[in-house]
Amino acid sequence: MKVLVTGAKGFIGKNLITELEQRENVEVLPFDIDTPQELLEQYCAECDFVFNLAGVNRPEHTEEFMEGNFGFATSLVEALRRNGNTCPIMNSSSIQAALENPYGKSKKAGEDMLFAYGQEVGAEIYIYRFPNVFGKWCRPNYNSAVATFCHNIAHGLPIQVNDRGTVMHLVYIDDVVEELLQALDRHPHVNLDGYCFVPAVHEVTLGEIVNLLYSFRESRNNFMIPNLCEGSFEKKLYSTYLSYLPEQEFSYPLTMHVDERGSFTEILKSADRGQVSINISKPGITKGNHWHHTKNEKFIVVSGKGLIRFRKHGSEEIIEYHVSGEKLEVVDIPTGYTHSIVNEGDTDLVTLMWCNECFNPGKPDTIYEPVE
């Protein structure tokens, strides 16, 4: 199956093509502004499906809107017509097509022309009026506030927000690509007006977006991770923000609490999923000897050899687990059991620790009691 993608080097085009290339039965025919014009004729003769993502949204002159949007769509249809190709066409439009501005008018003209063409030749026409699309590879300081905010905040640059209460309707690039692949498979979402749409639209204010982005930047200091539930706006925005990090700043330091016994380092925290830390113990060192009422933990030794010992509060029976980085296993630390971990080896004992709550010095829930 040969798929023509116009606007191939654009934001949506690049993301779509990376997915199309994963399909064994698809050959991508990419076309962009710098592609030799004669290839459009060839591609229109060969293609089995068209994704028309080409368009103009920030020209130097107003008349370029009509030329770049309606004009190119017309040229595309004429090339298909000349080659007797009635394959399906997906067209990228905008919610501004319902507005009386030059950009919106050019998009609406393209829509009307394509619908008329489809009725004339019997071609399937899938027109999407996209709201603001955000995600990786979107150019900052161009036509996306989200991309600009992500880039500037990640680079420590100022941003300008005229009205924090402005409501944005946003769709994430992965959701857009998933929907476009649905269209390719002839299963698009279609509303009663005949327009196709991406189901997952997020309604959020500029102020909420900015607050989240600054919290993402601060997470390198407080280790708090956002809500990463499947489908959440925070998850999608966080992934987008990370794609704008300066390349020389992918890594960041952690605070190691070091003493003669080894070290303890916090890595991640969350409001409802606790925290993850790394504990390093020197040979012969014992750590722990305490128990918790509600706090619970999971230990995973990833390097070295250790012994984890338990004793239920009020009991004399000691339970032992020998652990090693050579056999990864999770050891639960139940409430009401005093516990310790001993480095039995000749090298550092490295333990990944998860706790169900972030450490609160005002309520540590940690009662000292030796295992033996």
The residues near 143 (Cβ < 8 Å, ≥ 6 apart) are: 57, 58
Classify burial at 21, counting beta carbons within 10 Å of its beta carbon; exposed 0-12, middle 13-18, buried 19 or more. exposed
Q: Report percent pLDDT > 70 for the chain.
A: 97
DSSP string, 177-193: HHHHHHHHTT---B-TT
Domains and their CATH numbers in the chain: 1-241 (3.40.50.720), 254-366 (2.60.120.10)
Nearest to 206 by CA among 239, 167, 235, 154: 167
Band of the pLDDT at 56, cuts 50, 70, 90? low
Q: Name, in order, each residue with C-beta under 8 angstroms of 162's C-beta and a sequence gap of 6 or more.
A: none
- Give me the phi and psi of 61, to 5 degrees please: -125, 145
| Residue 96 confidence (pLDDT) above 90 | no
Q: What is the rounded average pLDDT of the residues 336-362? A: 97
Question: Could you list the active site residues?
Answer: 103
Structure tokens at 44: 């229109």
Asked if residue 222 has pLDDT above 80, the reply is yes
Please check whether residue 233 is in contact with residue 163, taking contact to mean a CB–CB distance below 8 angstroms. no
Q: What is the band of 103 on the pLDDT scale with cuts at 50, 70, 90?
A: confident
Contact 125, 89 (CB under 8 A): yes
Could you tell me the pTM of the whole model?
0.91
Sheet of strand 274-281, all strands in order from the earlier edge strand to the far edge: 256-259, 262-270, 274-281, 349-355, 297-303, 331-333
Percent of the chain scoring above 90 in pLDDT: 89
Q: Helices (H), strands (E): how many in the chain?
A: 9, 19
Q: Does the pLDDT of residue 70 top 90, yes or no?
A: no
Lookup result for tokens 């949204």: 57
